[in-house]
Structure 1
Amino acid sequence: MMLNVPSHIVPARGRGRLRSKTVAFLAVTVLSFTSVTAPAQAIEIFGFKFFEKDGDETPVVNPLDYTVTFDIQGNGDPDLREKLESASALKRSEEEPVPGSVGLISRARSDFEQLVGALYEDGRFSGLVKVSLAGRPLETLAPDTDLKPYEPVPVMFTVEPGPQFRFGEIVMRREDGSELDPAAYGLEPGAVAYSTNVLNAEEKVVAAMRELGRPLARVEDRNIVADHDSDTLDVTIVVNAGPVAPFGPTAVEGTEDVDRDFVAYMTGIDPGETYDPRELEAAEKRLKALEVFNAVTVRGADNLDANGAVPVEVNVSERKFRYIGLGATYSSTDGGGLEGYWGHRNLFGRAEKLRIEGSVSGIGSTSEYDDLTYHGALLFEKPGVIGPASTFTSRLSVDQENPDAYRSFSVTGAVGLKYKLTEKQTLSGGVELEYARITDSLVTDQETLTASVPLEWVYDGRDDELDPTSGFRLLAHIEPAYEFNQGNSFVIARGEASAYRALDDAKRFVVAGRVAGGSIVGADLTDIPATRRFYSGGGGSVRGYAYQGIGPKDENGDPIGGLSYMEANAEVRIGVTDKIGIVPFIDVGAVSTGTALEGAEFQAGAGIGLRYKTPFGPLRIDFAIPLNPGPNDPDYGIYAGIGQAF
């Protein structure tokens, strides 16, 4: 075949237990269910499969083995060989039998077409592809030819690639005759004539027309002529721009329990607004972010309505709204822990979220109730309160914490508003009121009542939240606060920046960095509640050190926190296989009792981590040692979690 072109009273906080020389954490198990009746799905972790149903694989009927050989003549380009072999389904699945002779012949015919396409993609329009099975040309084989006697059947692909063509004359114009610049769409005379460049140019010009409010833009005509004497490809593309049109009404299909009018409102598309495909994309992402749908598509109709407008068509598939989760943890220093939560994603029919959660840790490490750490919270969110880009948030929580720095019992209530400024920028603000009873090395059972107004701006340009390989993320947080019992006012300010860059096209080598810092102004250290001071050290900041282990300490060696801090982290994320990676890293941090890191001593930790990719993010285990430890710092630290460290 030849191819052609077509809280009680306790003493002041001190060292109540021996500090272990090892900081370790191990997540034992976490189970999460979208519904108590939802079927379990198979997952694989470190090569072990869980919840796998028997009989998932369908046996091949009348299996036939075969071998594949590629003979690429007159061309030693290894990249071309890789492209051709990758295009062959028979080559990719050579170790798996096909369903008889009919299956082999059918797949060989399909491979022929794929190989022709691969040559076109590489700009080769005069190539020759021949296929033979058991020495017989493919085109001479009837569909019912019996190849079983030749098992394993030798399959030979003979390819004469021919030269790479280059673009000759390129013309792009609108149907009305106005010329377009081909270079603006990736087509230039003299460049290698990859067929994909032509298709990409057509997509780009149609997209550009549609972004100008022309929803019916399309390629009206395409004329491609291959000159085999000069090895050039002449291209003429004619574009029908179509009329400028506004959006029409929005129709929603697929809703059952979610309010249909609410879905239309949350698209944010107003009838009469000039058509823009980017608005459709933004609407689709906004609906997906509601977390009440399994699938969402938002598109403009193929034709204009009687008013010359583009109707908006929304199709959704609802997911289960209730979910429940249970978990257990174990720490070599802090004992065992339990956690659980229940939630509803569509409480009143307009994607309102309610979540009730609770956790307790320190089980087994102490017999005193006041030494336990626990958390309980009621969280509620309502989207679309002030336009589709807004979300009302509220929280009521009860917490008891017992780290080395302090012991605290607190009750917190907060309300706020989150607003999506753009696809990547979010602004949030609110009011928070916290009652706390705190014991640290300076005070015993100090009661505080603190009101604050937290404001936060986030820019997130990462390509993936759990495992980013490119982009960056910025955070700026400022929180004016007033503590009523002592009459102290202060402002907490902090910022964070992280960046990611892949060093290769396969994204197996990714450099990641993070810098964070903050300062508290307006009051002395002793006037700031211990729970609101800055601390550093541990798995979320500087690995190799205990939680809150970096910074100023009291005479007993317990952290007292600071008014300013700074942290920096650097990692090289190396993909060893598609699922397994190793991550060498170094972390640095410091905490100061001054507002500008006065007298701060930077401490560093370094180590290596193991990553295993799963559908819900990479599993992370990090081992780190402190590089300049203090007298009470651990010898090493082990940390585990889901997602990258930052």
Structure 2
Amino acid sequence: MRHETRQKPNEAAAGISLPHALLFALLATSALTVSPQPAAAFELFGIRLWGSAANDEDSDIVDPMNYSVTINVPDDHDDLKKKLEAASTLKTDEDRPVSGSLGLMSKARGDREQLVAALYADARYEGVVNVSIDGRSIDDLPPDAEFRGPQPVPVVIEVTPGPKFTLGDIRLTGDAAGLTGADFGLISGGDAGSGAILKAEALIVRALKEEGRPLAEITDREIVADHNTTTLDVTLAVKAGPVAGYGETTVEGTERMDPEFTRYMAGLKRGERYSPKDIDDARERLLGMEVFNSVTLREADQLDGEGNIPVDINVTERKTRYLGIGGTVSNTEGVGLEGYWGHRNLFGRAEKLRIDGSVSGIGSNDISKLNYNAGVMFEKPGVIGPASKFFANLKTVYEHPDAYDRFSVKGGAGISYQIDKKRSASAEFSLDYSKITDSYGKNDYLIASVPLQYVYDNRNDRLNPTSGFRVLAYAEPSYDLLNSKAFIKLRGEGSAYYAPLESNRFVLAGRVAGGSILGAGVSHVPADRRFYAGGGGSVRGYSYQGIGPKDANGDPTGGLSYFETSAELRIAVTDTIGIVPFVDAGTVSNKQFPEFSDMKVGAGIGLRYLTPFGPLRVDAAIPLNRESGDPRYGIYAGIGQSF
């Protein structure tokens, strides 16, 4: 790797030469993140909701010394100043003491390297960074210097950014025939930041690996900075390596998990042509089994005797058993509590067993009208290939919503298949016995059905998406064995997400859903299988199942079709706090297709607090076309975005 300059910049003030700093920048650019640390912390059920564990560790620091940091950048470089503050560990750790004078000097010297790397990431190759502690430059401080003045000790960082460089000549040599720098973002006159170069190198290697060349690499990098023209010439030497298939797959780190089954679930068939996508998919599939804390796949640095590439899988396992509780609260639906126990690796091949139970309606119903659920679920992955999963479940329900009273015992078994990262499908056979009392009287049902589902999901984040969309199609042919009635339930829904700004500060989110039941009248379809709308997961501002046809007592009867839509503007106020104005609308009809003449609309605003396990959500809404029996407002709380 070679770096040159045609005009030597002011290196003494920065304390780091251009070649060394550029190399450091290329290695460190991808690690620069914004991570301000709040002073306080709060935990719930062992999960830290905000704050930093740093405060818990400060008591272990020997000879603690407090300091203050000032970063001076010219006034017309506000964006650059934010980047430098984000890169400065002195700044982000300012509320934490260091270990004496030696600790402060060490942190300051490391910080200067990070700041120069940040300048290079911004394509400023003449930038100068001066750091002084208590009025003395760190370059002039002896190794045993001590700062005995009052604390916090002042640290001042003076930054002279210098001009922004652009890319000059771009050359790819070696096995890069047919490739051009422009294909990977390296364009003459374009972004010369170290991050752009690092990204281009990764894309070049990825492109060659996608041709089935596992040993592709950048063997040399020559960067020449011309300070007279403020341009950066880049020459990258590329070695493609031969096309190869997969060799032996080895597994390390398994304890309770069967290593042979782990190898099988990775799905890297010996002799099959190598692809980095296969490696990515294998890692995601192994993590998706939920038995591993971490999964690392490493390709060997040379081919085996058959010309194939060996792959090593290194894993660490999670605890097999888990226990949890959860809850929801709403002024229209009351309080709900749930608990569950599970085992992630029952027989050593990622078999999953989960037992759960819940009670809801607390506070909104008398004790005889509470809703109870209990169930057991079993899953076994890899039954017809690594992308498949067998599942079976047994569930009993005793519930009393306004529309009906129901006791039900339902069992089912089926197969799900992950077609690729975005597409999945499932098929199930289920048998459901229920006793239901509703507007049409007391009835017993024994429903045999075959639920079928297809999902396409390219959202960038399942917990808090900012781009992409999700589409679901569902069909459930059913036959009532006790009453000799057949019908089919069809349902579809879609949601989309768009952030107009790169910062994702504003996210537009929309959802539509609809469905229809064909083949039977309302009275012949069990009440729990009809369509309803209203409540926290539907049209907010209205009571649960409160939208649609009602009987003479004003209780909902459900319908044969429905339509819902929602729109939200998710606004990030800080990195963890957001507000969400929203509008929901929906209708339910006794006819087989929705009628839009009686749409109910609700609107409100929500508060979000982002946590590692998803946003904590509180929504308040009012019905905009309220009728007799509708609540004046609704308040809902839960975990996760509303859709």
TM-score surpassing 0.5?
Answer: yes
Provide the secondary structure at the position in 2 that maps to 1:419: strand
Deviation track 1:80-126 (CA, whole Å, cap 9, x = no partner) reads 22223333222333344332221222222222222222222222223
Rounded to whole Å, the distance in 2 between the matches of 1:152 and 1:54 is 17
Q: In the alignment, does 2:600 pair up with 1:603?
A: yes
Q: In the alignment, does 2:444 pair up with 1:440?
A: no
Rounded to whole Å, the distance in 1 between the matches of 2:568 and 2:141 is 57
Q: Please name the residue that 1:30 is paired with.
A: none
Rounded to whole Å, the distance in 2 between the matches of 1:54 and 1:168 is 48
Shift, 1:230, TM fit: 2.0
* Matched-pair contact (CA < 8 Å) for 2:587–2:596: no
Q: Please name the residue that 1:76 is paired with.
A: 76
Q: In the alignment, does 2:156 pair up with 1:156?
A: yes
Q: After superposition, where does 1:10-29 map in structure 2 within 5 Å?
A: none
Q: After superposition, where does 1:521-532 map in structure 2 within 5 Å?
A: 521-532=518-529
Q: Please name the residue that 1:106 is paired with.
A: 106
Shift, 1:46, TM fit: 7.5
Q: Please name the residue that 2:587 is paired with.
A: 590
Shift, 1:365, TM fit: 6.7
State the superposition RMSD in angstroms.
2.5
Q: In the alignment, does 2:548 pair up with 1:551?
A: yes
Rounded to whole Å, the distance in 2 between the matches of 1:429 and 1:180 is 45
Rounded to whole Å, the distance in 2 between the matches of 1:95 and 1:280 is 42
Where do 5+ consecutive residues of structure 1 fail to align?
Answer: 7-38
Rounded to whole Å, the distance in 2 between the matches of 1:144 and 1:613 is 45
Q: Please name the residue that 1:62 is paired with.
A: 63
Change (3 A) 1:330 1:227: closer
Shift, 1:131, TM fit: 2.9
Shift, 1:364, TM fit: 7.3
Provide the secondary structure at the position in 2 that maps to 1:148: coil
Q: Please name the residue that 2:401 is paired with.
A: 403
Change (3 A) 1:403 1:46: farther
User: Which residue identity is paired with 1:112?
Assistant: R
After alignment, is 103-112 or 567-576 more displaced? Answer: 103-112
* Matched-pair contact (CA < 8 Å) for 1:389–1:419: yes
Q: Please name the residue that 1:227 is paired with.
A: 226
Q: Please name the residue that 1:539 is paired with.
A: 536
* Matched-pair contact (CA < 8 Å) for 1:552–1:592: yes
Shift, 1:329, TM fit: 6.4
Q: Please name the residue that 2:313 is paired with.
A: 314
Q: Please name the residue that 1:504 is paired with.
A: 501
After alignment, is 462-471 or 287-296 more displaced? Answer: 462-471
Q: In the alignment, does 2:3 pair up with 1:5?
A: no
Q: In the alignment, does 2:431 pair up with 1:450?
A: no
* Matched-pair contact (CA < 8 Å) for 1:591–1:600: no
Q: Which residue of 386, 404, 419 maps to 1:421?
A: 419
Shift, 1:198, TM fit: 1.5
Provide the secondary structure at the position in 2 that maps to 1:381: strand
Provide the secondary structure at the position in 2 that maps to 1:183: helix
After alignment, is 559-568 or 322-331 more displaced? Answer: 322-331
Deviation track 1:400-433 (CA, whole Å, cap 9, x = no partner) reads 2211111111111211110000111110011111
* Matched-pair contact (CA < 8 Å) for 1:337–1:359: yes
* Matched-pair contact (CA < 8 Å) for 1:583–1:610: yes
Q: Please name the residue that 1:35 is paired with.
A: none
Rounded to whole Å, the distance in 2 between the matches of 1:71 and 1:415 is 65
Higher relative contact order structure (alpha carbons within 8 Å, sequence separation ≥ 6)? 1
Q: After superposition, where does 1:326-341 map in structure 2 within 5 Å?
A: 326=325, 339-341=338-340
Shift, 1:598, TM fit: 3.7
Shift, 1:270, TM fit: 0.2
Rounded to whole Å, the distance in 2 between the matches of 1:85 and 1:327 is 39
* Matched-pair contact (CA < 8 Å) for 1:475–1:495: yes
Shift, 1:180, TM fit: 2.5
Provide the secondary structure at the position in 1 that maps to 2:139: helix
Change (3 A) 1:344 1:91: closer
Shift, 1:135, TM fit: 3.5
Q: Please name the residue that 2:291 is paired with.
A: 292
After alignment, is 561-570 or 142-151 more displaced? Answer: 142-151
Change (3 A) 1:368 1:238: closer
Shift, 1:382, TM fit: 0.8
TM value normalised by structure 2? 0.89
User: Which residue identity is paired with 2:283?
Assistant: E
TM value normalised by structure 1? 0.89
Q: In the alignment, does 2:43 pair up with 1:43?
A: no
* Matched-pair contact (CA < 8 Å) for 1:375–1:399: yes
Q: Please name the residue that 1:33 is paired with.
A: none
Rounded to whole Å, the distance in 2 between the matches of 1:80 and 1:249 is 49
* Matched-pair contact (CA < 8 Å) for 1:42–1:53: no
Q: Please name the residue that 2:281 is paired with.
A: 282
Shift, 1:334, TM fit: 6.3
Q: Please name the residue that 1:129 is paired with.
A: 129
Deviation track 1:143-176 (CA, whole Å, cap 9, x = no partner) reads 111222475544333333222222221111234x
Change (3 A) 1:163 1:337: closer
Fraction of identical pairs, as percent? 54
Shift, 1:42, TM fit: 4.0
* Matched-pair contact (CA < 8 Å) for 1:335–1:361: yes
Q: After superposition, where does 1:463-502 map in structure 2 within 5 Å?
A: 463-502=460-499
Rounded to whole Å, the distance in 1 between the matches of 2:338 and 2:96 is 45
Change (3 A) 1:55 1:155: closer
* Matched-pair contact (CA < 8 Å) for 1:164–1:192: no
Where do 5+ consecutive residues of structure 2 fail to align?
Answer: 1-11, 20-42
Rounded to whole Å, the distance in 1 between the matches of 2:340 and 2:153 is 57
Rounded to whole Å, the distance in 2 between the matches of 1:337 and 1:76 is 54
Change (3 A) 1:71 1:577: closer
* Matched-pair contact (CA < 8 Å) for 1:591–1:597: yes
Q: In the alignment, does 2:391 pair up with 1:390?
A: no
